[in-house]
Structure 1
Amino acid sequence: MSGPRIALLVTHLMGSGHLVRTLTLARALAAQGADPLVISGGRPLAHVETGGVRFAQLPPLGSDGLDYRTLLDGDGAPASDSYRDARRARLVAILREEAPAALVTELYPLGRRNLEAEFRAAIAALPPGARLIGSVRDVMEPPGKRKRVEQGLARLAPYDALLVHGDPDVIPLQASWPGDGSDPTELSSRLRYAGYAVTPAPAPSAGPGEGEVLVATGGGAIGRRLLEVAARASGFSDLRWRLRVGGADAAGAIPALQALGPAAVEAAAPDFRARLSRAAAAVTLCGYNTAVETALSGTPTLLVPMEEGGEREQLIRAEAFARFPEIDTARIGDLTPEVLAARVAALAARPRRTAAIRADGGAEAARIVLELAGA
């Protein structure tokens, strides 16, 4: 390609959402004439399609669930200093060779504090004049203290803009901050809302999964409690249930779930959206990509926010998405197998309705990046 080189740096530690969103932006950049390079620092994921753009894999890091304090290397052991040094050196070498017109950093500078050293090294490796753009989802995990917000704003200082992959009419980023609900001046001057960034929904077609209940928890190992309740709920339902299991240990978790009820249980797979479009109803966590994709599918869906470790991000999103007529929400602590089976039966009887969500965020974010890069 002859267009401007744009580097996109992402490290997904638990699930797949950050990587999927970054790939969506990269493909939108390519469609608008840019030459994007995705630099991934998370574990390779078999169910995520990385084709269509240039892709560089760093020595991977991951987390054990929500424990972000001890990061794990590609073998699942705690990452040593030498491992992280080699990873950082590889990142710097890639960026110096690439010499991009702009660098987009996913989640950082407002998140990924535990990877600050390598993000700083990446920024220092950029050529003079390169633009620096942060990229965040619609909701950030609310920091417990205002000091955390101030630290994030300090890291934002060298950035030209902060892309928000969301719609302020659905959830303003202010919902993520403690305090009076206003944006700090340093932040509001850089905010660029782009809309929700997801790939276009597949065209409706006949195929496997017609009329099923689809239960999915994303690409990570979270949500196992929901899968267990769903497996048991399938025994109280006249519908066919299919459970999708994410995480590196999915193969080991599947037999235990199969033993709990008649539901079909399998590993997460790339055909999630095609299956979703044919499902009678869906039950999912409320991560960014899954929530938006279910809302756009028109399939009546029960969103169950992840609340492990006191996390509030998915709860905030679920409360906002509950306004859409095809979406119901439930707290995991309120669900028994019998309750879930009844909720799903009621959902399956509803008409299909597509939520009014601005979902062209990939194309709009790409336009903003290229505008900032002077293209």
Structure 2
Amino acid sequence: MKKLMFYCQHILGMGHLIRSMEIVRGLTDQFQVCFINGGEVIQGFPVPAAVQVVNLPGIKTDREFRELQPVDPHRNLGEVECDRKSQLLQTLEQFQPDVLVVELFPFGRRRFSFELIPLMEAAKERGVRIVSSLRDIVVTKQDQAKHEAKICRLMNQYFDQLLIHGDPNLHPLEDSFSRVKDLDCEVHYTGYVVQKPQSRLTLLDQMALNRTEPMIVVSVGGGRFGHSLLWGMVRAAEWLSERIPHHIQVFAGPFVPDDVFWDLKQAGQDFSNLTIHRYTPNLLAYMQQADLSVNMAGYNTTMNILTTGVRALMLPFTGNDDQEQTMRVRRLEQLGRVQMLKETDVTPERLAQRVQDALLQQPQVIGFDLDGVEKTAMLVRSLFEQSDRASLVAA
């Protein structure tokens, strides 16, 4: 069995980790997998039993998405970076992968070049195939031409394959990166990566999903941002309790600051139609059962909406001038699948009215390629099938 090393760095939310782990889940039948997690560890996050996980000393970003900082507040960034680079190279030496998959880089995460360039240099010396794993939309920069030139240089220097986890009928990569034709490596769309339902539910999830009332589920991903949406729904709960029979289930996110979480809990403690938890690994199960999802507009949440058919009100993240989520929601709203929220919509009265209106709407049924996990495994495997055939011909 070939060996695959998968590098993932999440710094603000948890979307990159969720998507990467779902891809890895689909690779375990064909590869022995070592998963490198460079972000904060999430307690209770499901990992396939066959996957070896290496947790590097964690790095995250501040809420303004401006500065990197160690997850451990007692360490300085320079020490952590040095330790991470050494650990990565040591893992490469010990695991000896046949293929290295790097999530997002070089389209993003270039601040992690301090460890990724040495890792890829060492991998290339050993004949390791290198793959870039990329979501459907990438962040644009003020100096886009310079940004794209650097991407092309790095892609053409190090990578054998680019896998775009999207459907060009919804979002072609050219929408956010104009120089796809200048890449020398293989370029493939895999379709979207979607989560599969977990076979086991926690006791907390079983109790919540056994409620008799219809449900509205509220989520903001990791929880480092999206607090205005959480507060809007908590404050709208009293208004909604007199108008709809639904129970509102809120997930504030595993990274939500403690003070924000407990303030939300206190604010909502008198509302019988409201429950607030930090995190569930089974958000998909809630969306399958809910009448409405009110959420931030990250990649994985969007995929959950498309696969479950749930109605959705979606608030895009716009921090750091990031347009990724806005582009995704706007396109789905044009197709009649979801409704977009703006920051002006998250006042309690306005949000409550949007919720009521959304419950009366029937979303359009639209079809996109959702076979991203299966096609990713097939395409990575094809790298070796080509070389195996060439070896047979040469022999």
Alignment TM-score > 0.5, same fold:
yes
Deviation, structure 1 residue 44? 0.4
2:247 aligned partner, one-letter code = R
Code of the aligned partner of 1:252: D
Of 3-12 and 18-27, deviating more is 18-27
Q: Provide the residue aligned with 2:196 in structure 1.
A: 200
The SS at the match of 1:322 is helix
Task: Trace 1:180-199 onto structure 2 (pairs within 5 A).
Answer: 182-187=178-183, 190-199=186-195
Who is 1:244 aligned against?
A: 251
Which string of whole-angstrom CA distances, capped at 9 and with x for unpartnered residues, describes residues 104-130 of structure 1?
A: 000111110110010011112225321
Aligned partner of 2:135 among 127, 134, 137: 137
Deviations 1:295-354 (A, max 9, x none): 211110111101123221110111122244441112223432222112211222344765
In the superposition, relative to structure 1, how do residues 50 and 66 fare at CA in structure 2: closer, same or farther (>3 Å)?
Answer: farther
SS of residue paired to 1:48: coil
Can you give the 5+ residue segments of structure 1 that lack an aligned partner in the other structure? none
Report the counterpart of residue 377 of structure 2 in structure 1. Answer: 366
Contact 1:297 1:354 in 2 (8 A): no
What is aligned with 2:393? none
* Greater helix fraction, Structure 1 or Structure 2: 2
Q: Gaps spanning 5+ residues in structure 2: where?
A: 389-395
SS in 2 for 1:253: helix
2:227 aligns with one of 224, 227, 245? 224
State the Cα deviation string for residues 247-299 of structure 1 (Å, max 9, x = none). Answer: 43444322212344433211021121111111121101111101111121111
Q: Which moved more, 1:189-198 or 1:298-307?
A: 189-198
Please list, as runs of the form range in 1=range in 2, the aligned pairs for 1:323-362 lying within 5 A after superposition: 323-351=334-362, 355-362=366-373
Give the counterpart letter for 1:331 in structure 2. Answer: K
Counterpart of 1:257 in structure 2: which amino acid?
Answer: L
Preserved CA contact (<8 Å) 2:174 2:180: no
Q: Deviations over 1:40-92 (max 9, x none)?
A: 111101242123322111111111224243x2223235733222111110110
Structure 1 pair 231–94 and aligned structure 2 pair: CA distance change class (3 A): same
Q: Which moved more, 1:353-362 or 1:142-151?
A: 353-362
CA contact (8 A) 2:7 2:102 kept: yes
Partner of 2:299: 288
Q: How far 1:357 moved relative to its partner?
A: 2.5
Q: Does residue 164 of the first structure (1) align with residue 164 of the second (2)?
A: yes
Report the CA distance between 1:155 and its aligned residue.
1.4
Structure 1 pair 150–327 and aligned structure 2 pair: CA distance change class (3 A): same
1:18-57 equivalence runs, <5 A: 18-31=16-29, 33-52=30-49, 53-57=51-55
* Aligned match for 2:108, one of 101, 107, 111: 111
Structure 1: how far apart are the matches of 2:53 and 2:366?
33
Query: In the superposition, relative to structure 1, how do residues 359 and 83 fare at CA in structure 2: closer, same or farther (>3 Å)?
Result: same
Instruction: Answer whether contact 1:153 1:187 (CA < 8 A) is retained.
Output: yes
For normalisation by structure 1, the TM-score amounts to 0.91
In the alignment, the residues of structure 1 paired with residue 309 and residue 334 of structure 2 have an alpha-carbon distance, to the nearest angstrom, of 14
Structure ID, larger Rg: 2
1:198, distance to aligned residue in structure 2 (A) = 1.7
Q: CA RMSD in A?
A: 2.2
Distance, in Å, in 2 between the alignment partners of 1:162 and 1:353 is 32
Which residue in 1 is equivalent to 2:63?
Answer: 65
Distance 2:260 2:55 in 1: 27
| Alignment check: 8 A CA contact 2:155 2:185 kept | no
* Conservation of the 8 A alpha-carbon contact between 1:138 and 1:171: yes
Asked whether the 8 Å contact 2:4–2:33 carries over to 1, the reply is yes
Partner Cα distance (1:334, 1:350) in 2: 18
Q: 1:299·1:353 contact (CA, 8 Å) conserved in 2?
A: no
Shift of 1:142: 1.4
Q: Give the whole-Å Cα distance in 1 for the aligned partners of 2:341 and 2:333.
A: 10
- Map of 1:147 onto structure 2: 146
Farther off after superposition, 332-341 or 165-174 = 332-341
SS of structure 2 residue aligned to 1:373: helix
Aligned-partner residue type, residue 378 of structure 2: R
On the 8 A contact 1:304/1:330 being kept in 2, the answer is yes
Moved more, 341-350 or 283-292: 341-350
Cα pair 1:15 1:247 within 8 Å, conserved? no
CA distance in 2, matches of 1:188, 1:125: 21
Structure-2-length-normalised TM-score: 0.86
Could you tell me whether the CA contact under 8 Å between 1:153 and 1:186 is conserved in 2?
A: yes
